[in-house]
Chain A
């Protein structure tokens, strides 16, 4: 019987009541008494020297209250990278200052070099145009192509960085020679050059921020579209503006999607705070869609050569990759971690491979900053691997399924230490593969292909067996690897006198459904109704601390902290119950919401214990404090390793090159599942984004650094009719061995595992159609690209 409440139930998302009835409260919905409006003045050239900014005309315009330029922020700090990477030669990465407003130079189209604050938005916009008209920028040649950026020492994004190189990273450098030797000795080497296309995150809600300052108390408040309010607070206080940490509250109210782009701190957040202080009035800013395209941190953008050394029967002997990773014009907070420790460490995939070496050069260009986007590094690794393995199988005339079976780790090989620094704790990759093949009816493929042929279409099938690492941890390890933050999380469980419960979580929900799922866990554990539990998130004044939501970490890390706090609540409840029931603490058991004396019918309900904690008339006051509230911080001792097998079937129209997805099958291992409906929704959304990357999404800058795809007229988002009905399954579960809930995380899986399955399917279709010359097509596989490849 499926459960109807608690862990494992398909509880309906409670947050949807407000979202679907228009009662969500997003940053831009919040009106503040006396508010004024900020408009950013942004560069229209990709690269230029700021010669002069004359703000006098703008300052005299109606309603204008203040104008800021880069000059105003010279004395304060910059927005730092969260992860320090060392190059192969041991030198630290180059980390240019990322100021609140550009100073001296502008470095990408959309780079803000001034801001206008006025009584109304229209007045601010008019004055922003006047500032732009009063600004002289000497345009410099744009640096767009990564290879050219590294080769051309004369033209620099940052004057102090000669070769536009942030770092040249080797993972693991000590293994390099051994990998080279293994590759040389391999009977067969498959080589593939591929581009992991740059993506614009396109959260439905654009970024928005409101700064407030109370001159009476000296308190600041920032309301902002953040996945990670505590990090933003830390960065604003400790690095950028120097506000004492106890004087700033950061609130991230309802947030309409982030996909990574709202993890980071952006200059506009510091700007509205500084402006609020100067004016003593709330200052608000909301991006328009063009600003979102130009300035939200983009995703992916790798150019990779991957080599796979193998035996003639398909056993993988060595993997070597060389990658140029675009970091854009400035280092966004996780931009240095994403292509390294979230990418290079995954390059062994779910396979038993003795030798793996990853070289990655991070390159500055005159484009928007690039950072983690749903999957973050792991989609790039998975795509390289799964494409190359498919190509290897084809070259060796082997069945791609058999090649994977041959190399996948076996269930008895865990824990498994990879040659790229991870320890996979548990998994059953053969089970998910078998499951996917069965669900997708691979056996019936030939019959379906014949039907397609009869209709003039080419049918193909593509496979991807993927693994990812979620819940980056533990803190002492990431610290050694260069992280400047810890990666634990925290939760406070507050039980009220009447037995209802609030849980303050460091994880932030912006579409994931935490308010429902976390409440299910609490209800299950305390034996109370889900409706008696409220999840509070997104307000640094209410929550102990948190590292936010990204990297599929919320339940695995913050959920574990919550679980620990619940244990403390139960422990304290037992003490209270022992006193009330006049029994020894050791004899108290807690089950289904009831504290009872083992072997008797003496019991107190959870509600009675809560009441007693706050009305302590019959209470062990000498040994126990009143109240029932506990906090726990949880620092995992390993990553979690979700894995799975994805199978995609496509039809290609040979006349037009158009690809239609016929079916998409996902067999995932997420460990224990708290709410199957929410997990399925996460997979659906992730796969939609993966299919978007594979088939339609394309971010193009021209040679002058102008973003050609700066609106939905040219940037294609996947729409409902581009997508199939998914078949998803998560029954092949191997619970995570090291967190209390046994969960692994499911938020990014779909976006990680799906792109290579789609591309493999298209290549398969073309080969079956006789176009065996086509060994690869770079994403997105638009009709035009597929058609062009077919003509080659």
Chain B
């Protein structure tokens, strides 16, 4: 790790100001950023911690019935506090990493990072959530722009994420054996307007919606509705842990399991 300055913002405004300089960087739980800094692969001169901004921490339900999660809320807090409102989302949070990771890592950090194998992107895209920043609201469909790439501008911070609550939902994660991130993760959510299916871990462009499955499940929300479908291997990742074909196969298996388990 190289030396850096440390700023602990108390308000969103303070944080945005502190992040104005080019080589300043936001710090959420540090679960991704700090290991990168230890390896000397990242070298921000100022780290602006978002963990002490009260308006960015916690869970509530707004008038529209959406579950609103502060951008600096930890995975553990989501697992605990969202369980009563949106159990599938809480269950997803409760299986991210290990207790230490869940007690530090934040939803904002995870979404800003947009690791192609991360879990939250599937929930956000699968729920059609809204990513709220200090500057604007971004619809999930406009937010994820490919592996490690998002619609966030330099210095823009995620202050809240708002999830509409579906009738039924479930997340199925088939773990990459070493990291236990998602080798393939599928989030299925059934809303009045239709079913959303979001897939993480599998594709080289990061999280995506599986349109054919959404159409089939919107007609018949049953695992059998997917029987005739197949995911093409073209855009899937091939690496040490699985071929593109294997990932494509798992997408279908996990989608079926998610449908069967949704409640």
Interface set of A (CB-CB < 8 Å, partner B): 122, 125, 129, 290, 655-657, 696, 698, 700, 708-709, 712-717, 782-784, 787-788
Is B21's CB within 8 Å of the partner chain A? no
Q: Is B243 in the interface zone, CB < 8 Å from A?
A: yes
- Report chain A residues within 8 Å CB of B246: 657, 784, 787-788
The chain A residue with its CB closest to the CB of B250 is A656
A713 closest partner in B (C-beta): B179
A-B pairs with beta carbons under 8 Å apart, 9 shown: A129-B40, A655-B253, A696-B178, A708-B240, A712-B179, A782-B177, A783-B174, A783-B177, A787-B246
Of B240, B243, B253, which is in contact with the most chain A CB atoms at under 10 Å from its CB? B240
Q: Which of A122, A125, A700 contacts B240 (CB 8 A)?
A: A700
Query: Would A715 and B243 count as touching, CB distance under 8 A?
Result: no
Cβ contact of B178, chosen from A125, A290, A656, A712, cutoff 8 A: A712
B178 in contact with A716 (CB, 8 Å): yes
CB-CB under 8 A from A788, the residues of chain B are: 243, 246
The smallest C-beta distance from B202 to any residue of chain A, in angstroms, reads 13
B241 in contact (CB, < 8 A): yes
A contact residues around B250 at 8 Å (CB): 656
A758 CB to closest chain B CB (Å) equals 15
Contact among B1, B40, B179, B249 with A787 in the assembled complex (CB-CB below 8 Å): B249
- Contact flags B150-192 to A (C-beta < 8 A → 1, else 0): 0000000000000000000000001001110000000000000
A656 touches B174 (CB 8 A): yes
Complex Cα–Cα for A259 and B229 (A):
49
Least Cβ–Cβ distance between B105 and chain A, in angstroms: 15
Residues of A contacting B1 with CB < 8 Å? Answer: 122
Which residue in chain A gives the minimum CB-CB distance to B177?
Answer: A716
* B242 at interface by CB-CB < 8 Å: yes
User: Contact between A696 and B177 (Cβ–Cβ < 8 Å)?
Assistant: yes
Shortest Cβ distance from B173 into chain A, in angstroms? 12
Chain A minimum-CB-distance residue to B257: A655
Contact B178 A713 (CB under 8 A): yes
Q: Which of B216-263 contact A (CB under 8 A)?
A: 240-243, 246, 249-250, 253
Contact residues in B for A708 (Cβ distance below 8 Å): 240
Give the shortest distance, in Å, between A316 (CB) and chain B (any CB).
36
Residue on B with the closest CB to A653? B253
Q: A696-B178, A714-B240, A787-B249 are in contact. List 17 more A-B contacts (CB 8 A).
A: A122-B1, A125-B40, A129-B40, A656-B253, A698-B240, A700-B240, A708-B240, A712-B179, A713-B178, A714-B179, A715-B178, A716-B177, A783-B174, A783-B177, A784-B242, A784-B243, A784-B246
Q: How large is the interface on B (under 10, 10 to 19, 20 to 34, 35 or more residues)?
A: 10 to 19
Query: B40: which A residues are within 8 A, CB to CB?
Result: 125, 129
Question: Looking across the interface, which residue of chain A has its beta carbon closest to that of B38?
Answer: A288
Residues of B within 8 A of A698 (CB): 240
Q: With A655-B253, A656-B250 as known contacts, state yes or no: A784 contacts B178, CB within 8 Å.
A: no
Of A122, A129, A656, A784, which is within 8 A of B241 by CB? A784
Residues in B whose Cβ lies below 8 Å from that of A715: 178
Could you tell me the distance in whole angstroms from the C-beta of A536 to the nearest C-beta in chain B? 37
B203 to chain A, nearest CB (A): 16
A719 nearest CB neighbor, chain B only: B180
Per the bound structure, the CA–CA distance linking A657 and B246 in Å amounts to: 10
Q: CA of A215 to CA of B260 in the docked complex: distance in angstroms?
A: 75
Complexed CA–CA distance, A458 and B40 (Å):
46
Shortest distance from the beta carbon of B130 to any chain A beta carbon, whole Å: 31
Q: Which residues does chain A contribute within 8 Å of B253, judged by CB atoms? A: 655-656
What is the distance, in angstroms, from A593's C-beta to the closest C-beta of chain B?
50
Q: Which residue on chain B has the smallest CB distance to residue A657?
A: B246
Give the shortest distance, in Å, between B110 (CB) and chain A (any CB): 16
With A698-B240, A708-B240, A787-B249 as given contacts, are A714 and B178 in contact (CB-CB < 8 Å)? yes
Whole-angstrom CA separation of A782 from B246 in the bound complex: 12
- How far is it, in angstroms, between the C-alpha of A696 and the C-alpha of B175 when the chains are bound? 12
Q: Does the CB pair B240–A709 fall under 8 Å?
A: yes
For B241, list chain A residues within 8 Å (CB).
714, 782, 784
Give the nearest-CB partner of B253 in chain A: A655
Residues of chain B with a CB closer than 8 A to A700's CB: 240
Nearest CB of chain B from residue A564's CB, rounded to whole Å: 47
Smallest Cβ-Cβ distance to B246: which chain A residue: A784
CB distance from B50 to the nearest CB of A (A): 25
Interchain nearest-CB distance for B244 vs A (Å): 11
Question: Which residues of the other chain, A, contact B178 by a CB distance below 8 angstroms?
Answer: 696, 709, 712-717
Write out the residue numbers on chain B whose beta carbons fall within 8 Å of the beta carbon of A714. Answer: 178-179, 240-241
Distance (whole angstroms) from the CB of B66 to the closest CB of chain A: 34
- Using Cβ atoms and an 8 Å threshold, which residues of chain A touch B177? 696, 716, 782-783
A186–chain B nearest beta-carbon distance, Å: 39
A536 to B246: give the CA distance in the assembly, Å.
54
CA distance A122 to B241 in the complex (A): 35
- The distance in angstroms between the C-alpha atoms of A712 and B35, with both chains bound, is 12
CA of A743 to CA of B40, assembled, Å: 50
Report Cα–Cα, A656/B249, bound state, in Å: 8
A544 to B240, CA, bound (A): 49
In the bound complex, residues from chain A placing their C-beta under 8 Å from that of B39 are 290
Q: CB within 8 Å of A: which of B24-50?
A: 39-40
Q: How far is the CB of B241 from chain A (nearest CB, A)?
A: 6
Chain A residues, CB < 8 A from B179: 712-714
CA distance A52 to B174 in the complex (A): 48
Measured in the bound complex, the distance between the Cα atoms of B241 and A715 in whole Å is: 10
Q: Please give, as numbers and ranges, the residues of chain B lying within 8 Å of A656 by CB-CB distance.
A: 174, 250, 253
Measured CA separation A160–B246 after assembly (Å): 45
Q: How far is the CB of B198 from chain A (nearest CB, A)?
A: 20
Residues of chain A within 8 A (CB-CB) of B3 are 122
Q: Which residues of chain A come closer than 8 Å to B242, judged between CB atoms?
A: 783-784
Query: Which residue of chain A has the shortest Cβ distance to B174 in the bound complex?
Result: A656
Give the interface centre of A125, A655, A708, A709 by most chain B CB atoms within 10 Å: A655
